[in-house]
Structure 1
Amino acid sequence: MSFLYNVLGILALILVSAFFAVSEISLAASRKIKLKLLLKKGDHRAQRVLDLQENPGHYFTVIQIGLNAVAILGGVMGESALSPYIFSWLQLFYDGPALQTVSFAISFSLVTGAFVLFADLIPKRTGMTEPERIALAVAAPMTVCMKLFAPLVWFFNGLADAIFRLFRISVVRRDDITSDDVMAMADAGAQAGVFLNKEQHLIANVFELDTRGVASAMSSRNDIVFLTLGESEESLYAKITERPHGKYPVCERDSIDTVMGYVDSKDLLPRIAKGSKISLRTDPIVRKILILPDTLTLFEALERFRDAREDMAVIVNEYALVVGLLTLQDVMSTVMGELISPFQEELIVQRDENSWLVDGTTPIEDVMQALDIDEFEGWENYETIAGFIMYMLRRVPKRTDKVEYGDHAFEVVDIDNYRIDQVLVTRIGGEGRTA
Structure 2
Amino acid sequence: MNELSLEVLFAILAVLLMLSAFFSSTETGMMSLNRYRLKHLRKKGHKGARRASRLLKRPDRLISLILIGNNLVNFVAASLFTVIVIRLWGEAASVVIGPIILTLVFLIFAEITPKTIAAYHPEKIAFPASSVLVPLLKILYPFVWFINTITNSLLKMIGIDTQNHSGETISPAELRTIVNDAGPHIPRRHQGMLLNILDLEQASVEDIMIPRNEIQGLDLADSDDALLEQLRSLEFTRIPIFQEDINNVVGTLHQRNVSRVIDENGNIVRKNLMEQIREPYFTPESTPLHTQLVNFQQQQRRMGIVVDEYGVVQGLVTLEDILEEIVGEFTSNMADQIKDIHPQSDGSFMINGTATIRDINKGLNWELSTLGPKTLNGLLLEKLESFPDASVGVQVERYKFEILEIKDNIATRVRAIRTDAKGQDEDDD
TM over 0.5: yes
Q: What amino acid sits opposite 2:227 in the alignment?
A: L
**Kindly tell me: are residues 329 and 353 of structure 1, through their superposed partners in 2, closer, same or farther at Cα, counting changes over 3 Å?**
farther
Corresponding residue for residue 292 of structure 2:
301
User: Cα deviations across residues 342-385 of structure 1 (Å, max 9, x unaligned)?
Assistant: 99852333436953333333333333334445x545x3233233
Q: Cα distance, 1:103 vs. partner?
A: 12
Tell me the secondary structure at the aligned position of residue 209 of structure 1. Answer: helix
User: Residue 73 of structure 2 is aligned with which of 70, 80, 83?
Assistant: 70
On the 8 A contact 2:260/2:272 being kept in 1, the answer is no
**Kindly tell me: are residues 229 and 388 of structure 1, through their superposed partners in 2, closer, same or farther at Cα, counting changes over 3 Å?**
closer
| Bigger mean CA offset, 274-283 vs 292-301 | 274-283
Corresponding residue for residue 340 of structure 2:
347
Corresponding residue for residue 194 of structure 2:
203
Q: Cα distance, 1:52 vs. partner?
A: 2.5
On the 8 A contact 1:18/1:120 being kept in 2, the answer is yes
Q: Cα distance, 1:39 vs. partner?
A: 2.7
On the 8 A contact 2:85/2:94 being kept in 1, the answer is no
Tell me the secondary structure at the aligned position of residue 263 of structure 1. Answer: strand
Percent of paired sites with the same residue: 23
Q: Cα distance, 1:398 vs. partner?
A: 5.1
Map 1:81-100; keep pairs closer than 5 Å: 81=84
Matches of 1:135 and 1:286, distance apart in 2: 65
User: Cα deviations across residues 168-215 of structure 1 (Å, max 9, x unaligned)?
Assistant: 1243242212222221112112xx322333222211111111111111
User: Cα deviations across residues 121-172 of structure 1 (Å, max 9, x unaligned)?
Assistant: 3332333344345433322321222233333322321221111111112432
Q: What amino acid sits opposite 1:264 in the alignment?
A: H
Q: What amino acid sits opposite 2:74 in the alignment?
A: A
Matches of 2:58 and 2:387, distance apart in 1: 63
* 2:396 paired with 1:404: yes
**Kindly tell me: are residues 152 and 294 of structure 1, through their superposed partners in 2, closer, same or farther at Cα, counting changes over 3 Å?**
same
Tell me the secondary structure at the aligned position of residue 315 of structure 2. Answer: strand
Matches of 1:26 and 1:246, distance apart in 2: 58
RMSD of aligned alpha carbons: 3.3
Tell me the secondary structure at the aligned position of residue 278 of structure 1. Answer: coil
Matches of 1:359 and 1:108, distance apart in 2: 77
* 2:152 paired with 1:161: yes
User: Cα deviations across residues 221-244 of structure 1 (Å, max 9, x unaligned)?
Assistant: 010011022432321232234442
Corresponding residue for residue 327 of structure 2:
336
Map 1:179-258; keep pairs closer than 5 Å: 179-189=172-182, 192-253=183-244, 255-258=245-248
On the 8 A contact 1:363/1:385 being kept in 2, the answer is yes
Matches of 2:353 and 2:63, distance apart in 1: 60
User: Residue 59 of structure 1 is aligned with which of 45, 62, 67?
Assistant: 62
Map 1:140-179; keep pairs closer than 5 Å: 140-171=131-162, 172-179=165-172
- TM-score, normalization: structure 2? 0.84
* 2:342 paired with 1:361: no
* 2:113 paired with 1:122: yes
Corresponding residue for residue 278 of structure 1:
268
On the 8 A contact 1:79/1:104 being kept in 2, the answer is no
On the 8 A contact 2:393/2:400 being kept in 1, the answer is no
Corresponding residue for residue 264 of structure 1:
254
On the 8 A contact 2:228/2:268 being kept in 1, the answer is no
| Bigger mean CA offset, 359-368 vs 206-215 | 359-368
Give ranges in structure 2 of 5+ residues lacking alignment: 424-429
**Kindly tell me: are residues 302 and 16 of structure 1, through their superposed partners in 2, closer, same or farther at Cα, counting changes over 3 Å?**
same
Matches of 1:376 and 1:139, distance apart in 2: 53
Q: Cα distance, 1:29 vs. partner?
A: 2.2
On the 8 A contact 1:201/1:337 being kept in 2, the answer is no
User: Residue 320 of structure 1 is aligned with which of 301, 311, 315?
Assistant: 311
Matches of 2:13 and 2:319, distance apart in 1: 70
* 2:2 paired with 1:9: no
User: Cα deviations across residues 279-299 of structure 1 (Å, max 9, x unaligned)?
Assistant: 344432211121111110111
Matches of 1:31 and 1:81, distance apart in 2: 42
Q: How many residues in Structure 1 have an aligned counterpart in Structure 2?
A: 413
* 2:416 paired with 1:425: yes
Tell me the secondary structure at the aligned position of residue 381 of structure 1. Answer: coil
**Kindly tell me: are residues 150 and 364 of structure 1, through their superposed partners in 2, closer, same or farther at Cα, counting changes over 3 Å?**
same
Corresponding residue for residue 96 of structure 1:
none
On the 8 A contact 2:85/2:93 being kept in 1, the answer is no
